[in-house]
Amino acid sequence: MTKILHRTIGTNLRKAVTAEGIYITDSEGRSYIDGSGGAAVSCLGHNHPEVLEAMKVQMGRVSYAHTSFFTTDVAEELAEQLVELAPAGLDYVYLVSGGSEAVEAALKMARQYYVEIGQPQRRHIIARRQSYHGNTIGALATGGNAWRREQFKPILPETHHVSPCYAYRDIQPGETPEVYAERLANEINSKIEELGPDKVMAFVAEPVVGATLGAVGPVADYFKRVRQICDKHGILLILDEVMCGMGRTGTIFAVEQEGIVPDLVTIAKGLGGGFQPIGAVLLSEKIYRAFAEGSGLFQHGHTYIGHPIAAAAARKVIEILRRPEMMHNVMKMGDRLHAGLDATLGKSPYVGDIRGRGLFRSVEIVADKDTKRPFDPARKIHAKIKKEAMQRGLMCYPMGGTVDGKFGDHVLLAPPYIAQPEEIDLIVERIAASITASVGHGGSLS
């Protein structure tokens, strides 16, 4: 009997014993393609020798030094790398240990910024429905994942949510992407006006929505409009790239494709590639200056922030991601993955949408392709897909509640950036078979 409180009690979890490249092998000798990078984490696959060596070297120097006493060369160098790669205007880095920590820190930065500049009345956070920003209390409150929030609502701080940019379901007949983007921007502006422009501190969004919606990107000039609205009202724009960043969509920062610069960006997952827990917040000069010229501190911290071994792993991961062939492969293999999914599943009556960017792709499952009607949640199609995929030697990231937190199913694919054409083809083959086996070919669809 296990002494671990597992995520789901009573499940017979396989035991991972070795991992190499894009494969994980269990205690029975079965290998699984890591088609989701765990949770879009393992960007360089498993056991990458250069990353392991960098960690080993750092262990022989300094394995831990609390940041209230010391900084380290490796943490400083990582920060320099990130600033160099980030959109111009994001000039400082705060290192943490994961995505939820990064979002929590960003929210506190936003609040403290306004206190420092003499606007302590600013307290409201606006985010989007069907988003996900982490599992700590502040991050969970900010996110719009209805199922994850439900039982914890009584202890969540007040936040406000507007519509996601979800064109597949929400764009109206005859509405162009530009008009749709304008409508969504107007909704954000109206929410700000309702709350009081001088009382809102931040708008928070994922450039490409991750697990909750399944690789849903923006349309037209949506984020340019959001940036303009935030500037108009003096509100900070926080972009959460924990899942979609660090090369996952084909550029190191996903926001690069939107042509804007946010005030704060959160990163994690692919930053450490799964080799060590690490995350970061990148912040603008104006936020840094408000702290530096005000109280002289950021009133926040965790024990393991700036961990030297985690920083060494991330520094090497970033070094590898910067090599020209890496982002080229992400785009090339991403196109191959999308084309393969379209060829095998595009005509399926149970596949409503195939979407995403780079090696961040998703398939939305429907009971009726024409009406986009989802399956009855009781059928747990997403859970069946995961089970079928594991039986076929494929790890994927399925999720239910795609439409509104209750209805809808999708499966997310986020394989390592080192994946080769034949491996992408295997992912397509196995996920297509898994989806087909899960939805069946007849009988009641609801």
Any idea of the CA torsion for 29, 32, 38, 43, to the nearest 10 degrees? 110
Beta strand pairing call for 200-205 and 236-240: parallel
User: For residue 39, is it within any domain?
Assistant: no
Q: What is the pLDDT of residue 446?
A: 32
Q: Spell out where 81-159 has E strands.
A: 90-96, 124-128
For 292, the token pair is: 């530096």
Q: Residue 11, exposed/middle/buried by CB under 10 A (0-12, 13-18, 19+)?
A: exposed
Q: What is the amino acid identity at position 324?
A: P
CB 270 within 8 A of CB 43: yes
CATH number of the structural domain spanning residue 348:
3.90.1150.10
- Alpha-carbon separation of residue 184 from 49, 143, 191 (angstroms): 46, 18, 11
Q: What is the pLDDT of residue 12?
A: 87
Same domain, 282 and 328: no
Query: DSSP letters of 60-93?
Result: TT-S---TTT---HHHHHHHHHHHHHSPTTEEEE
Same domain, 357 and 407: yes
Three-point CA angle 364, 32, 400, nearest 5°: 25
Residue 304 DSSP SS3: coil
The closest of 186, 199, 185 to 233, measured between CA atoms, is: 199
For 160, the token pair is: 């406000």
Q: How many domains does the chain have?
A: 2
Q: Sheet harboring 90-96: ordered strands across?
A: 90-96, 279-284, 264-267, 236-240, 200-205, 124-128, 160-162
How big is the chain, counted in residues?
446
User: For residue 5, is it within any domain?
Assistant: no
Residue 10 DSSP SS3: coil
Same domain, 274 and 242: yes
Q: Could you list the residue range(s) of the whole structural domain that residue 332 is in?
A: 16-34+323-439
User: For residue 446, is it within any domain?
Assistant: no
Any idea of the CA torsion for 15, 18, 24, 26, to the nearest 10 degrees? -30
CATH number of the structural domain spanning residue 229:
3.40.640.10
For 220, the token pair is: 């037209």
Residue 32 DSSP SS3: strand
CB 400 within 8 A of CB 383: yes
Render the burial of 86-102: b for 16+ CB within 10 Å, e for the rest.
Answer: bbeebebbbbbbbbbbb
- Residues contacting residue 367 through CB under 8 Å, at least 6 positions apart: 350, 373, 374, 375, 376, 445, 446
Q: Average pLDDT across each block of 10 residues of the chain; the chain has 446 residues. List them in order.
A: 90 94 98 98 98 98 97 98 98 98 98 98 98 97 95 97 98 97 98 98 98 97 98 98 98 98 98 98 98 97 97 98 97 98 97 98 97 97 97 98 97 98 98 95 36
User: For residue 10, is it within any domain?
Assistant: no
How many alpha carbons lie under 13 Å from residue 112 in its C-beta half-sphere?
22
- Please report, in angstroms and rounded to a whole number, the separation of the first and last CA atoms in the chain: 38
Residue 269 DSSP SS3: helix
Same domain, 231 and 330: no
User: For residue 336, is it within any domain?
Assistant: yes
CA 144, 146, 148, 151 torsion-angle sign: positive
Residue at which a domain ends, from 276, 302, 319: 319
Residue at which a domain ends, from 261, 296, 319: 319
Give the DSSP letter of residue 368.
B
Same domain, 235 and 346: no
Helix (H) or strand (E) run with residue 240 in it: strand 236-240
User: For residue 305, is it within any domain?
Assistant: yes
Same domain, 234 and 360: no
